[in-house]
Every structure is written in C-alpha cells, then in structure tokens.
Amino acid sequence: MLVNIIKGHRNIVAICDSDLIGKKFEQGKFQLDLTGNFFKGDEMSEKETIQIMQNMKKEDATFNIVGQKSINIAIKTKIISQKGIKKIQDVPFALVLL
C-alpha cells in the first residue's frame, strides 16, 4: 500500500491500496478520485503501515484511508471501526479526524 504524510499544523496521513492509484470511482454525486498526488506516497509493508498509523494516532493526525487492505489495517490498529467505513463502487474508504 502507499502511504503519504502531508505535514502541516495537523498532519494528514493518506493511505491507499497500491492497485487503486490512478483510478476514479463515482456513485451518484460522490466520487473517490485517486488520480492526483494526494495518495501517491511511499510503498510500505503492512508492518511499516501499522507503525506509521500508531505513531500518527499519537500526534492527532487526520487519516484518509482507501482500499480493502488499507481499511483492514486501520481496523487492526483501531484507527477505525466497521461503522466508520463507507463505500463507493464497492471500494471502502474512511476519513478519520482524531
């Protein structure tokens, strides 16, 4: 999966399954646009991604998570729960403001 940390007053952590980058999903008036640079980050293993999520959670970061693998890791690290997941064209995503 790809992990991009955007530094700012409050860090934003964008995490996306690698196979979804460059695609756009639309359903009604909603869309997930993964064609820009926002989610283009460094390829990371599950272990590395878990470590980043745990560290960034302590810093009250904002998380944008897209894709089944990424969502599963976020659930595993307790960043999100099942009720915080939405889908567009069967692609799961979550926005987390801690």
Residue 95 falls within a domain, yes or no?
no
Kindly state whether residue 20 falls inside one of the protein's structural domains: yes
- State the average pLDDT over residues 53-76: 95
Residue 20's pLDDT is 97
- Would you place residue 97 in the very low, low, confident or very high pLDDT band (cuts 50, 70, 90)? confident
| Domain around 22 | 2-90
Give the mean model confidence (pLDDT) for residues 38-63.
95
Residue 37 belongs to domain with CATH number: 3.30.1860.10
- Residue 76 domain-assigned? yes
For residue 50, give every residue at least 6 positions away whose Cβ sits within 8 Å of its Cβ, in sequence order, or none.
Answer: 73, 76, 77
3-state DSSP assignment of residue 17? coil
Strands in 42-43's sheet, in edge-to-edge order, are 42-43, 2-6, 12-16, 62-66, 91-97, 86-88
In whole angstroms, give the CA distance from residue 22 to residue 35: 4
Q: Let me know if residue 98 belongs to a domain.
A: no
Number of domains in the chain: 1
pLDDT at residue 98 greater than cutoff 80: no
Assigned domain for 48 exists: yes
Tell me, yes or no, if the pTM score tops 0.85: yes
pLDDT of the residue at 52? 96
